Amino acid sequence: MQFGEAIIGYPLLNIVNTSLRTGKMPSLLKRSIIVPVLKAYNPNKPEDLRSINLMPVVEKVIEITVHEQLSEHLYELAETDAEDDDEDESSKT
């Protein structure tokens, strides 16, 4: 586990941090594979298929990282806003 972390961990961390800092995703990570999956047993029309988008793992890691950081930040802002509202209400009385 630690061996693999040393090989891929730091480059992956660099990609994620650079992407977050610049707000841009590396173009190679924007590519995905679309796989058709059957909706019906015997497909006769394109509507009988649905597509599954297989995205690169690094893109998914960046997406999860952004989601977690943004969610945490918004939660903290909501708490601060609620505390400010409570202080405003108590100062009015």
Print pLDDT tens along the chain (93 aa).
566 677 788 888 888 888 889 988 888 888 888 998 888 777 788 888 888 988 888 888 888 888 998 999 999 999 888 777 766 666 665
Query: For residue 55, what are the CA distances in angstroms to 26, 33, 59?
Result: 13, 7, 7
For residues 57, 62, 65 and 66, what is the CA-based torsion angle, rounded to 10 degrees?
-140
Q: Which residues span the domain enclosing 9?
A: 2-92
0.85 cut: is pTM over it? no
Task: Please give the tally of structural domains in the chain.
Answer: 1
9 neighbors 18 (Cβ within 8 angstroms):
no
Which residues does residue 51 pair with via DSSP β-bridges, in sequence order?
Answer: 36
Q: How many CB atoms lie within 10 A of CB 66?
A: 13
Question: Token pair of 19, please?
Answer: 């992407």
Q: Looking at residue 62, what is its pLDDT?
A: 83
